[in-house]
Chains A and B, each alone.
Chain A
Amino acid sequence: MTKFQGVDFYGIEGLLGEEERMARNTARAFVEAEVLPIIDKYNREGTFPGHLIPKVGELGFLGANLSGYGLPGVNNVAYGLIMQELERGDSSLRSFASVQGALVMYPILIFGSEAQKEYWLPKLASGEKIGCFGLTEPDYGSDPASMAAKAVRVGDHFVLNGTKMWITNGSIADVAIVWAKLDGQIRGFLVEKGVPGFITSEIQGKFSLRASVTSELSFEDCWIPVENLLPKTEGLKSALMCLNQARYGIAWGAVGAAMACYEAALNYAKERVQFGKPIASFQLVQRKLVHMLTEITKAQLLCLHLGRLKDSGKARHTHISLAKMNNVEKALEIARMARDILGAYGIVDDYPVIRHLCNLESVYTYEGTHDIHTLILGQDITGISAFE
């Protein structure tokens, strides 16, 4: 296999700054050397390659776009490119980094107390501690405002009750950011591993994100000290701010998964001979390859401009919704087309395609389903909410 040179039909490389290219190169080299050679084994076994965490931390990929407390503070384009490269490796790894950076470190940085920031951020950045984010519940997914989890103040403690579902990193996390209603208002709480009444169980039988840990968290009269409240959280909006950060990374990550599928399909089509010639010479196959390249190019430009908007403080949450919605949908479409081009070889893990295809089914749904993002945009342009 030759070294990945990126997919860059429009010379987007020239629009990147030196720091952005260097960050991307580091992530790409890391994925080529340390992720691609091992990922199929972990995907088959359904286990998380935890040995990569210290390395990912050392390179600065966890909370890369956050500043202060010794964090790298790269710009959002560099951060996006890192997410793209990680997901070219596997969505599981990008999911790990997204959760740790955007859903755990970000809320601690934005809503946390000074003591919380000083204690947690360096440890989470290095990967010494792992975090997870508990918002979704078994009965409340797209409608988190209706959540059942509750916190009640008793003296200098909160007593937490509820269940959180589909939680990435849940069973391996040292700390969970748990969202629950306190006096009717949704607030964020830091719940540490091992606190009595806090139990995690890993969800089995997944056909997607197999190299990632997905868990159920349950809280039964779980007493946590008052100082574990994230003091600046104010309602569901705070949780949604975190999701915006993560969705931004997902929009880029989807491009990485799509690139991996396109590259595999293009190489295969040029080498696979049927009827005496490479299948890449057939018009139907060319049409598929061109469609893949077109959608990747559009998605890249969308991400890059979104990143520039975010860096200049002009990105709205609806801009992020559009990119997450479009890019994941297109990546999934590209993965399916690549699977089709590879024929029967497309269903085995000798090629990365089926793994990305299965992963992207989750990515399509998590962090705001495709339909919910559509309705967020529908509400934005018509002024009429279809779901409230």
Chain B
Amino acid sequence: MKIIVCLKQVPDTAATIKVKPDGSGVETEGITYVINPYDEFALEEALRIKERLGEGEVTVITLGPPKAKEALRTALAMGADKGVHLSDPAFEGGDSYATAKALARAIQGLPYDLILCGKQAVDDDAAQVGPAMAELLGLPQACVITKLEIDANRKKAVVHRQIEGASEIMEVSLPAVFTAQKGLNEPRYPSLKGIMGAKKKEIAEHNPSSLGLSPEEVGLAGSKVKILKLSPPPSRATGKILEGEPREQASQLVKLLREEAKII
């Protein structure tokens, strides 16, 4: 079974994010980058499927600047077999659509039975690339999955999806695109042997022309959504601590909610 996993390199969830003074983006200086945690679930699932079936190939693909190669290398160290890196200045600044389009085009050139993504990237939280890519590739999709069972012979998958207050169980024919939710599995750490072995694994490079796309179709130029400005959330004002007996505090609270907060 050939599995493709889409990855995004994002700032470490523990990193302190500062918006640039002009609001055009975030300060990247001094930030450590990691594989998007939801993409790690997708990768772990792919590796487990391959291990369970005892055969197969896991290809990891990312669109991102040169430093995003480290995310691919980490994925190769965890056990993926091959990497594909869409790296070119023309790809920069793209929205979910432009990114999905470039990824879909790269994936069209590869053999696959299954495509896994994270349910969303923790930097922009758009949750669009997976579904958009499935549409562009004309594949069925199931998003926010917490369990995946593959029947390789019947080319079917049974997936469990989180829905409001319940889980939905669906059978999907393969190939298909699934996006991973927390709870799908517990990702492994790259072992030292994996890290050393990853150095010998191949990472293919692509730019727009090698994908048969014009520079106008990718990145900022090919985007349907443009970011006008980023601004940090307003800092919270200091809270108020009410004093006195519970009865007194309650009446003060009601008064404040009514007169100051104006919510009751």
Contact = CB atoms under 8 A, between A and B. Distances in A.
A64 interface: yes
A276 to B, nearest CB: 15
Contact of A64 (B192, B198, B199): B192
B171 interface: no
Given A13-B32, A18-B73, A22-B74, A3 B14 contact: yes
B196 interface: yes
B15 interface: yes
A382 interface: no
A30 B195 contact: no
A12 to B, nearest CB: 12
B199 to A, nearest CB: 7
A61 B70 CA distance: 21
Interface string B1-32: 00000000000111100000000000000101
A2 interface: yes
Interface string A1-43: 0111100000101000011011101100110000000000000
A46 interface: no
A82 B195 CA distance: 13
B73 A22 contact: yes
Contacts of B252: none
A25 B32 CA distance: 11
Nearest to A21: B70
Which residue of A4, A5, A64 has the most chain B CB atoms within 10 A of its CB atom?
A5
B93 interface: no
A75 to B, nearest CB: 10
A73 interface: yes
Nearest to B194: A60
Interface in B37-92: 70, 73-74, 77
A22 B32 contact: no
Contact of A61 (B15, B192, B196): B192
Interface of A: 2-5, 11, 13, 18-19, 21-23, 25-26, 29-30, 58-61, 64, 72-74, 78, 82
The 5 closest A-B pairs by CB, nearest first: A60-B192, A3-B14, A72-B192, A26-B189, A22-B195
Given A3-B14, A4-B14, A72-B192, 14 more contacts: A2-B14, A13-B32, A19-B196, A23-B192, A23-B195, A25-B74, A26-B189, A26-B192, A30-B189, A58-B191, A64-B192, A72-B193, A72-B195, A78-B192
